[in-house]
Structure 1
Amino acid sequence: MLNIPEAPAIAGATHLHSGKVRDLYEITDGPHTGELLMVASDRISAFDHVLESTIPDKGEILTRMSLWWFEQLEPLVANHVISTDVPAEVAGRALIVQKLQMFPVECVARGYLTGSGLIDYDQTGEVCGVPLPHGLVDGSRLPKPIFTPATKAELGDHDENVSYEAVAKQIGPDDASMLRELTLDVYARADEIARGVGLILADTKFEFGVRHDDLGTRTIVLADEVLTPDSSRYWSLDEWVPGGTQPSYDKQIVRNWLLSPESGWDKGSDAPPPALPSEIIERTRARYVEAYERLTGTTF
Structure 2
Amino acid sequence: MRAALLYLLVPVAAWGCKCQLTMSACNEAATTDVIFIGTVEAIEPSFLDSWNAAQRGALATLNEEAARAEKDHSAAGFTKLRDAYLKVFPDLPEEHKKRLSAAKSAEQLNDLFYWILDHGKRIRLRVKTVFRGKDLDDDDEGSTVEVWTAFGDCGFAFQVGETYLVYADDDEESDVMTTGACTRTRRVSDAGDDLAYLYFVKQDEDRAGRIEGFVTTDLLYQRQLDASHYSDHIASPVAGAVVELKSSATPRYAAADEKGHFVFDGLPAGAFTVSAFTPAFPAETRLLAGPKEVRLGKGACGFQVLVAPGSGGK
Q: TM-score, normalised by structure 1?
A: 0.21
Q: TM-score, normalised by structure 2?
A: 0.20
Q: Is the radius of gyration larger for structure 1 or structure 2? A: 2
